[in-house]
Amino acid sequence: MIAIIVEDRCTNCNACVVVCPTNVLDAGPGIPVIARQLDCQTCFMCELYCPHDAIYVAPDCDHPVTVDAQAIAGSGLLGEFRRLHGWDEWADDPRFTNEHWQMEQVFLRARAMAQAGNM
């Protein structure tokens, strides 16, 4: 479940708001707001599409987790999901195989269903 958006890394591009299939995030006047945390399905799309590694999604999909921004920044976990999936700047690194692109259509269908009220 999405746990935190690290303010000093976020550039307010709102890519996470756009890509979230369940509309957990709202665009704010500053950084996006985690408005409906319990609706998070732990799909990691927000973390994957964040080009500045400002989002941490905890692996617990049933319960919100409280985390400290400095501890998360120091842990090396920010950006780990993008790196391990060979996303974006990691796409040409042979150590990280990008197979997550295969899920994009599944997530887009889920988002359409959620927006249509079928979930």
DSSP readout, 18-84?
HH-TT--EE--SSS-EE--GGG-----HHHHH-TT--EEE-S-SSS-----HHHHHHHT-TTHHHHH
Which pLDDT does position 100 carry in this prediction? Answer: 64
Which pLDDT does position 28 carry in this prediction? Answer: 86
DSSP for residue 101: G
Which pLDDT does position 84 carry in this prediction? Answer: 84
Spans of the chain below 70 pLDDT? 99-103, 118-119
Which pLDDT does position 95 carry in this prediction? Answer: 86
Which pLDDT does position 45 carry in this prediction? Answer: 92
Q: How far apart are CA 29 and CA 15, in angstroms?
A: 15
Take residue 6 and report the two structure tokens written for it: 């690290």
